[in-house]
């Protein structure tokens, strides 16, 4: 029997944050550190051709298309599913469904051994991505329901701190298998990476149960009716009309979109930029990735305190300025410089400090802008999620297009810096609200 905890209870907030501990290992191990490198090597290396449904395509392009397709699917279905979840009160049910889809799909990656298994790799990538991002819509929507406005900055930061800590622990174990497989009696060169995928799946699913055990289920006691699909669409329409009249929220979503174009794209391409543009070895890149995660813990904590003292919008403006400076710093890096590795390492530390901060603050700031006592929190957060997904698609498309036209990843980084500048200007026009200043 589930223990019923009241809003604002520290145990409830801690249980909610544990879902970050559970699923963040996907973001680090699968999206960033191990799977992309493993996928590239197993399918033949840079720009190798693979066959997929009778078409010849480069391995990296196929992987990028799979991710783009995943983000598109989430962007299309989450507003509808979230409105249905709001109407029926089945938020936790949908969160469990997407968590299961994601973790099972990651487990399926264990059977990806060579290029002949490309279908396993691509379909597992698509469904794992959908499961991860889909579950986050419902997870984020719990924030205004488990914490009061004055608690939400700390609660959001706690989630990211738990996520960074858990992912560092699991990645460290996985890297030990990669670097010293003989310690584990492993002789198959593909097995360390494949065990890593299995460990992520188990970690994600098992630790998610802590959150599921204590998160409220149908807290508004809504009854499921036969026409819930139609009513779900009506719920969506109601929230769209509400957002039109919420000036602060509307402008914030625009600013969030603009800085997300830069933030999410830089997170996705940082390792590739270090490898291809700066010629850094894989070992140094992985160390930098670990540094980013460790510093991210302190960044999320630090800026939750700064937001209490200065207000959310001022704290966000500070992080946006830092991101713009980091982008310029990345643009100025030169692989011919004898200390380029050290400079990249320092830049990674700065990135970690503001990465956790801007992600945590953007979530809690949005949560505070949602109308008080709203019963449509999932639908509201689906707009937040869709805005971020469209920003990812736009950012990666712009980055790739600039590289194609100019032949330079550096110019693409410079273009991304402009998005931070415009976002900073936009956020200046957000009027103060009851809980956001």
pTM of the predicted structure, to 2 decimals:
0.81
pLDDT digits (tens, 9 = 90+) for 366-424: 988 988 777 677 778 878 888 888 898 888 778 877 877 887 778 989 999 999 999 99
Q: What is the C-alpha to C-alpha distance for residues 247 and 242, in angstroms, rounded to an integer?
A: 10
Region of poorest pLDDT, from 60-64, 85-89, 286-290, 299-303: 85-89
pLDDT value of residue 1? 45
Region of poorest pLDDT, from 4-18, 101-115, 382-396: 382-396
In whole numbers, what is the pLDDT of the chain averaged over residues?
Answer: 86
The confidence band for 230, taking pLDDT boundaries of 50, 70 and 90, is: low
Percent of the chain at pLDDT > 90 equals: 36
pLDDT digits (tens, 9 = 90+) for 236-292: 677 778 888 889 999 999 999 999 999 988 887 777 778 777 878 777 777 888 888
Percent of the chain at pLDDT > 70 equals: 93
The confidence band for 203, taking pLDDT boundaries of 50, 70 and 90, is: very high
Q: What is the C-alpha to C-alpha distance for residues 306 and 308, in angstroms, rounded to an integer?
A: 5
Q: Are 360 and 304 in contact (CB under 8 A)?
A: yes
Please say if the pLDDT value at position 341 is more than 70.
yes
Instruction: Give the mean model confidence (pLDDT) for residues 160-165.
Output: 90
pLDDT digits (tens, 9 = 90+) for 324-340: 999 999 999 888 888 88
DSSP conformational letter for 114: S
Continuous H helices in 273-376: 282-310, 312-332, 340-369
C-alpha dist (Å) from residue 289 to 46, 132, 227, 325, 362:
21, 20, 48, 19, 22
Domain coordinates of the chain in residue numbers? 10-215+226-427
pLDDT value of residue 292? 86
Indicate the helix (H) or strand (E) that contains 241: helix 228-244
Which of 232, 224, 214, 211 has the alpha carbon at shortest distance from 376? Answer: 232
Instruction: Give the mean model confidence (pLDDT) for residues 50-78.
Output: 82
Q: Which residue has the higher pLDDT, 428 or 138?
A: 428
pLDDT value of residue 226? 55
Yes or no: domain 10-215+226-427 corresponds to CATH 3.30.930.10: no
């Amino acid at each position: 029997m589930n223990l019923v905890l009241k809003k604002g209870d520290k145990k409830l907030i801690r249980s909610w944050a544990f879902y970050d501990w559970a699923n963040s290992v996907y973001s680090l191990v699968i999206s960033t550190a191990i799977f992309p490198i493993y996928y590239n090597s197993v399918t033949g290396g840079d720009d190798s051709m693979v066959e997929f449904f009778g078409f010849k395509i480069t391995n990296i392009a196929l992987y990028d298309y799979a991710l783009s397709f995943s983000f598109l699917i989430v962007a299309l279905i989450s507003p509808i599913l979230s409105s249905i979840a709001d109407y029926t009160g089945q938020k936790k049910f949908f969160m469990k469904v997407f968590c299961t889809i994601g973790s099972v799909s990651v487990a399926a990656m264990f059977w990806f051994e060579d290029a002949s298994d490309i279908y396993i790799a691509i379909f597992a990538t698509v469904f794992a991505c959908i499961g991860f991002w889909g579950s986050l819509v419902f997870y984020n929507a719990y924030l205004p329901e488990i914490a009061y406005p004055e608690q939400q900055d700390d609660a959001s930061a706690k989630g990211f701190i738990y996520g960074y800590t858990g992912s560092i622990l699991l990645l460290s174990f996985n890297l030990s298998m990669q670097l010293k497989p003989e310690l584990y009696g492993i002789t198959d060169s593909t097995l360390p990476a494949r065990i890593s995928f299995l460990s992520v799946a188990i970690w994600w699913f098992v630790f998610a149960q802590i959150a599921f055990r204590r998160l409220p289920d149908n807290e508004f006691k809504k009854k499921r009716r036969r026409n819930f699909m139609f009513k779900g669409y009506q719920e969506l329409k109601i929230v769209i009309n509400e957002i039109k009249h919420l000036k602060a929220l509307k402008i914030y979503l625009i600013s969030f979109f603009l800085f997300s174009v830069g933030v999410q794209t830089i997170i996705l391409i940082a390792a590739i930029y270090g490898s291809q543009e700066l010629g850094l070895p894989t070992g140094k890149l992985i160390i930098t990735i670990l540094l980013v995660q460790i510093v991210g813990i302190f960044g999320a904590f630090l800026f939750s305190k700064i937001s209490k003292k200065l207000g959310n919008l001022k704290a966000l403006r500070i992080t946006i300025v830092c991101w713009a400076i980091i982008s310029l710093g990345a643009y100025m890096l030169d692989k011919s410089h004898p200390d380029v590795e050290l400079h990249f390492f320092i830049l990674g530390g700065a990135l970690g400090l503001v990465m956790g901060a801007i992600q945590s603050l953007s979530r809690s700031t949005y949560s505070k802008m949602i109308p008080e006592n709203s019963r449509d929190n999932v639908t509201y957060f689906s707009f937040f999620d869709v805005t971020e997904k469209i920003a990812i698609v736009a950012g990666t498309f712009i980055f790739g297009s600039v590289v194609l036209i100019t032949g330079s990843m550096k110019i693409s980084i410079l273009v991304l810096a402009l998005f931070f500048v415009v976002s900073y200007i936009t956020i200046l026009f957000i009027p103060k609200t009851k809980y956001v200043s």
